[in-house]
Amino acid sequence: MSKEKVVQEVTIKRNLKLECIICKKKLFWTRTTLMNTPGMSFFNLDWANKSAVNYVCDNCGYVHWFLNK
């Protein structure tokens, strides 16, 4: 079963509208990516790594990364 992606405009801190730095379009879909580190991977603790939110441009596919704080 595939998860349908939701394409939408994105607002980041201070009410800034995200715009793709490559094609200047303003529609994105979202995914989350683990920021794996060698130490955590060595101990099979990848799940404990920090994650990043990715906004993927629906036009050109460029991935914008934002760390979760």
Residue spans of the domains in the chain: they are 11-67
Euclidean distance between CA atoms 55 and 10, whole angstroms: 8
Euclidean distance between CA atoms 10 and 41, whole angstroms: 32
pLDDT of residue 5: 86
pLDDT of residue 38: 61
Q: In Å, what is the CA distance from 7 to each residue of 3, 4, 20, 25, 56?
A: 13, 10, 14, 12, 9
* Digit-coded pLDDT (tens) for 13-69: 889 999 999 999 999 999 988 665 666 555 666 555 577 889 999 999 999 998 764
pLDDT of residue 43: 63
pLDDT of residue 1: 47
Euclidean distance between CA atoms 50 and 33, whole angstroms: 9
